[in-house]
Each structure stands twice: as C-alpha cells, then as structure tokens.
Amino acid sequence: MGRRPPGFPSAFWLATFLAASSNATPILFGPELIQLVDSNLKALPSNVASLFSPESSQPPNAITSRCKIYPGDPAWPSDETWAQLNELTDNRLLVKPQPQATVCYNGPQYDPSKCAQLTAKWSSSYIHFPDPIEMMSPVAQGMTCLPPNIFDSHNCTRGGFPMYVINATTPKHIQLGVNFARNTGVRLVVKNTGHDFLGKSGGADSLSIWTHYFKDITYIENFVDKKIGYSGPAFKAGAGVQALEIYKAASEKGRTVVGGEGETVGIFGGYIQGGGHSPLTSLYGTGSDQVLSFEVVTANGKFVTANSTSYPDLFWALRGGGGSTFGVVTSVTVKAHPEMQTTAARFSFTSEKVGNETFWAGIRAYVDSFVTNADAGTYAYFMLIPNVSTGIFTFNMSPFFAPNKTLEETQTLLEPWFTRLNELGIEFNPNISHFDSVYEAWKSSFPLESVEKINATTGSRLFPRANFETERKRDELFQNIRQSSENNRVQVHFNIKAVDPANADNSVNPAWRQNILFSQQAVRWPVNGTAEETLKIRKEFQTGDMQRWRNISPGAGSYLAEADRLEPNFGQAFWGSNYPRLLKLKAKWDPYDVFFATTSVGSERWKVESVDGLPNENGKLCRVQ
C-alpha cells in the first residue's frame, strides 16, 4: 500500500486507498488531485495571470527570440513575478539553490569541515539525488563547482545548474512551472534524481521542476487493459520513486518489477521513458515495455492520463521516446511479475599470470555463449579494464544474473565457457549463489556504483544478433572489443536481450529488439587540459573507437541514457525507424519546444552555447540558425 503523503488531507488518502485496493481502474494519488484550476489565478491582474495560464490560441511571444530568455534580457521575469510563481506554488520555489561544494570556496558559506565531509562522499549518488540541483555528471554541468580536492573549479559558479527550482509535489506545481516557462520563454528543465549521464537534468539559468518527492506507491491486484491485452497485478508509482523503493514494495507483495540495477536510479522518471534495461530484461523486455499508464502534465499545461485509450499517441511516445520531451510525468503504472528464485555469480580474472593471449582467448570463448545466455533469459554485467601502467587487463563479472534459474541450471549454462577457462589455465574462482528471490539476489549482487566522473564520457552500441551468427562475425566483434581495450578504453558490457514478449507497440529503439550485447566504452582526457584539447580527444573517440563499433554493426543503435552527447546522427542511433514518428509527435505535443534536453527528440533545433565550447549545460540555449 502507498503511504499517506505528508500534508494531505486524509479524505484524499482514503479515496486513493479504497479505489486502488479494489480491482477497478486505479485512480489518482491524493496529491494528483491537486491540479491547476481557474480560481487559482482569479485574484491576479490579467497580465500577470496570463503568465501562469494554460495554453491559449495565441502562441507565446517568446517563440520568436533566438535564445530562450535569460537574466539581463528585457523579457526576463522580474523578482516580483518570480515571487508570484513562488506564492502560486505554495511557497515551493527554491531561489538559486547553492551548489553543494560552495562550502569549499571562499565566501560566506566557506566551511572546511563540511567541505571535507562532502569530498569524502562525493562519488556516492546519495549525496546528489536528494539535492534540488546536483547532477551526477559534472562534465555535463560544466565543472564549475566541485570539491577542490577532486577538481579545482577555482571560482565556484552556478554553471549548468538551474536558477530556480520548483520542489513539486502536485500536478498544480508542475502545471504552473510549465505554463510559466512557455509563456515567458525561460528555459525549463526537469530533474528527478540527476543520474543522467548526458546532463539532461540541468541547464544554466533555467527553471527546474524537481520530481523527487512524488513518492507514492500503490499495489493493484488486477489491472485490466483489454487493448494492451494485460490482466494482472500492477504497481502505480510516483515519478520520484527509486529502484530500491519499488523493489522493496514489490517484494512485500511477492512481486518483482522491471527496473535498473543501480539502487538509486529514478525508475519512474528518466529510466522508464527512455527504454530502460534491467536484470529482468532478457525475460520481460525493457522498462518502457511494462508501462500501462502515465499521468502527465503536457506542454500546454494540461494534466492528462496517457494510456492505451486516452491519448494513445502520447502513450506511445512516452514509452521509449525519452524524458523531458513530451511532458512531466507524475506517476506511472507498470506490470508486476511474480517473485522467482534467482542464481547470481560474481568473479574476475586478469592477464597478470597468464599473459595477454591467454587472457584474450578466455574472453573470446565467452563471446560464443552470448546468444545462448541471453536466449536463456539471463543478464550479464561485466567490465574489461585496462591498466596502462602495468599492461594488465582485468575482466570483472559483476554479476551474472539468472532469474528463475536454479544453481544447477546456471552452472550448466556457464559450463562451456568455464571449461574453456580451466583448459586455458585461467584462475577465476566464481562465487555462484542461489537466492529465493530476485530481490535478495539483487540486494547482494549489485554494489553501489560511483558517480561524478570528472574526465570521462561513455559511448555505447547495441550489438545485434547478427554480430554473433557466424564464427567470422564473432571473431570480428571480439577483435574490435580487444582493440578498444588496447586503446585504453574502460568497457562495460551487458549481455542481454530485450525482446518484447507482450508485443508492446511503443517508441523503444528497435535496435533493442535485436540486441545481444549492449556495450559501452569510455574516453578519458587530462582533466587540466584546455577545452580545445578535450574536444579534440572527444571527437577522435567518436571518429575512432566508436566509429569502429558502428562500422561492424550497420543500422544498429545506441542507448539514449548511456551514450555520448557527441553521438552522431543521434535520432537514428537512439530511436531508429521510430524517429520520424517521434518528431511528428514532438511537433504535435510540444509545438513551442517548451521541453528540451540535449539529444532528445527534436533537440537538433537548439544548441547550448556553452561558455567553454565543450558539450555541456553551462551556457544559453539558442536556436540553431
């Protein structure tokens, strides 16, 4: 059962609780009943009210300016106007929330002991997701305020951080923010947890809508949608619900849901709108494939349900088209699946004792198992880590995850590869453990990952089945992976498939449907280099190692949430044949580009003119001429 949200009258709560406990169509959460109504604006003079009103037939004036509206522009709202927004949003407007590392720099908030504490925990997502502005990618933020022992920003500035944040808890707050941005031309961003690797949850001098406190969860015994062809258990969860919260709630009902591996990822914000892969994806498809319904505030300021019969085109676009593009979601209803036994294995080996050729023969042998393992419903998350100073390569399986499989079944799957590793004399000591539930297996198999990389970016490729069909194709793929390691790329791979058992008709990248190996490689640069040097290295990564990966997988794609801002032709890469329809729906649902995020659908019309010329959020968002 959901919890009663703080500050809401119990009558709302009771209504939600009763309806959600029955088999009826789920109704809105208590906070979702609070929507913008005419009377909210009635007391205001009409010229002020018009800044907060839903879309009228008149296009907003600001659509003619070259850039969004910024401080210093005559059209920038006055302090009184911002105060009006604050009042209308129940005093939930945060004005210039300080970057956390402000405590590390000269100024009234300088506090060396706080700075030391912050520095020690900086790479933990727990420092960043509860903050109204922090983004987990400082590279995309513009590197303007980090703890100096991590990176000396010299002069802590706001950089790519927003200027105002609505700490939203109701659709009304979001509707007011969306209307205000559309009517004034101020840049709008949406932050949930800030996990986005590309910086899509920030933007300099913008107004941000922060969805973190949409935390309700309700279990629905039997959700029926005849059009989708689903009849079964479901969860309705607020947009701010994170992986560990929904997994715990599901486990209490003897269920599992499809979500990301990282415990702090916002499953019902960016993850689920962008596709989303999961330890359960080889069994049930992507995160987007699970969605039965969204509640969403659209660019015109309306709060609507998007499901199979209510705005089905918006429903299609929201399931894979990416966050911050078609609206601000307040809650999502997803399929729930039965709990299952799970077997998970963790192990690693290096080239140190056996040498390069034997090490790589061990990796090559693994490539032969990818199709079988993905088709068996398993998930493997592994890394290939080069060390230039020692010349040693490390393979790290973290973990091999086999939902619904016994220990014996899992051992049988791994046996051909393990036999080969033993023949090669590679020591690897696998810890293979059986768990009664996906939840227990997940909790003990996925360590918290570090965030806030200061000199790295990752590019990715969805390698299709075609890359594994013949010995020659497997050799070719293997050689390209080895080459990347020899070029000092840290690599992260997911051996998964994302077939869609329910045949959901949605906008998920069709390249996922062919996927056998989702591969990422990182480019790093000297953190103290000039912008020109950094840009050169980043471009060479795209024309070099990334291009090699594209060349051997023609027509395949990349995953929009784990990708490089410099991915060329990103519309094709992230959405393939769905891109033209997504562009049409963007024009229909957001004709004035109220929503923008870099590399999102339709974003090629705009560019952040960053102050250092690097691909980051520290600059004005302007039209591409």
Ligand X SMILES: *[C@@H]1O[C@H](CO)[C@@H](O)[C@H](O)[C@H]1NC(C)=O
Ligand Y SMILES: Cc1cc2nc3c(=O)[nH]c(=O)nc-3n(C[C@H](O)[C@H](O)[C@H](O)COP(=O)(O)OP(=O)(O)OC[C@H]3O[C@@H](n4cnc5c(N)ncnc54)[C@H](O)[C@@H]3O)c2cc1C
Check binding of 200 to ligand Y (CB under 6 A).
yes
Residue 152 contact among ligand X, ligand Y, none, beta carbon within 5 to 8 Å by kind: ligand X
Distance of alpha carbon 13 from alpha carbon 5, whole angstroms: 8
Q: Is 109 in the site for ligand X (CB under 6 A)?
A: no
Q: Which of 262, 301, 459, 615 binds ligand Y (CB under 6 A)?
A: 262
Answer with the entry of ligand Y, ligand X, none that 193 interacts with (C-beta below 5 to 8 A by kind): ligand Y
46 vs 389 by CB, closer to ligand X: 389
179 binds, among ligand Y, ligand X, none (CB under 5 to 8 A by kind): none
> Which residue in 60, 185, 266, 285 binds ligand Y (CB under 6 A)?
266
Indicate whether 561 belongs to the interface with ligand Y (CB under 6 A). Answer: yes
* Interaction of residue 597 with ligand Y, rule CB under 6 A: yes
Does residue 175 interact with ligand X by CB under 6 A? no
State the CB neighbour count (10 A cutoff) for residue 389: 5
Residue numbers 211-230 binding ligand X by CB under 6 A: 213, 225
**Of the listed pieces 189-197, 244-252, 519-527, 539-547, which binds ligand X according to CB under 6 A?**
519-527
Helices (H) and strands (E) in the chain, counts: 22, 20
| Host H or E run for residue 36 | none
**Continuous H helices in 144-273:** 171-184, 243-252, 272-273
Question: CB–CB of 459/349 below 8 Å?
Answer: no
310 is an interface residue for ligand X by CB under 6 A: yes
Identify what 545 binds: ligand Y, ligand X, none; CB under 5 to 8 Å per kind.
none
User: How many Å apart are CA 554 and CA 74, to the nearest integer?
Assistant: 49
Among 283, 329, 499, 601, binds ligand Y (CB under 6 A): 329
Query: What does the alpha-carbon distance between residue 47 and residue 33 come to, in Å, rounded to a whole number?
Result: 27
Q: Please compute Rg for the chain using Cα positions.
A: 24
Burial annotation 260-299 (CB, 10 A radius, 16+ → b, else e):
bbbbbbbbbbbbbbbbbbbbbbbbbbbbbbbbbbbbbbbb
Among 390, 289, 276, 269, smallest CA distance to 334 is for 289
CB of 163 to ligand X, least distance (A): 13
Buried b (16+ CB within 10 A) or exposed e, 390-416: eebbbbbbbbbbbbbbeeeebbebbee
> Of these partners, ligand X, ligand Y, none, which one is at the site of residue 196 (CB under 5 to 8 Å by kind)?
ligand Y
- The Cα 276–Cα 318 span in angstroms is 12
Of 81 and 157, nearer to ligand X (C-beta) is 157
SS3 584: helix
* Least gap, CB of 593 to ligand X (angstroms): 27
The piece of 145-153, 163-171, 324-332, 513-521 that touches ligand Y (CB under 6 A) is 324-332
Query: Cα separation of 615 and 625, whole Å?
Result: 18
Which of the listed partners (ligand Y, ligand X, none) does 260 bind, with a CB threshold of 5 to 8 Å by partner kind?
A: ligand Y
Q: Does 389 bind ligand X (CB under 6 A)?
A: yes
Find residue 219's DSSP bridge partners: 235
Q: How far apart are the C-alpha atoms of 572 and 237, rounded to whole Å? A: 31
Give which of ligand Y, ligand X, none residue 178 binds (C-beta under 5 to 8 Å, depending on kind). none
For position 27 contacting ligand X by CB under 6 A, the verdict is: no
Q: Which residues face 297 on adjacent strands?
A: 303, 328
What is the contact mask toward ligand X in residues 403 to 432, using x (rule: CB under 6 A)? -x--------------------------x-
Among 92, 191, 405, 550, binds ligand Y (CB under 6 A): 191
Kindly write out the interface string for residues 247-276 of this chain, putting x where it contacts ligand X by CB under 6 A and - elsewhere: ------------------------------
- State which residue, 36 or 190, has the beta carbon closest to ligand Y: 190
Rule CB under 6 A: say whether 194 interacts with ligand X. no
> What does 479-547 look like in DSSP terms, one character per residue?
HHHHHHHHTT--EEEEE-----TT---S-S-THHHHEEEEEEEEEE--TTS-HHHHHHHHHHHHHTHHH
Count of residues of this chain found to bind ligand Y when the rule CB under 6 A is applied: 33
Can you tell me whether residue 332 is helix, strand or coil?
strand
Give the strand pairing for 93-95 and 164-167: antiparallel
With contacts defined by CB under 6 A, how many residues of the chain interact with ligand X?
34
Q: Please report, as ranges, the residues that interact with ligand Y according to CB under 6 A.
A: 136, 190-197, 200-201, 211, 239, 260-262, 265-266, 269-271, 274, 276-277, 323-324, 328-329, 449, 451, 561-562, 597
- List contacts with ligand X (CB under 6 A): 25, 94, 132, 152, 155, 157, 167, 169, 213, 225, 283, 293, 305, 307, 309-310, 355-356, 377, 387, 389-391, 404, 431, 433, 444, 454-455, 486, 524, 526-528
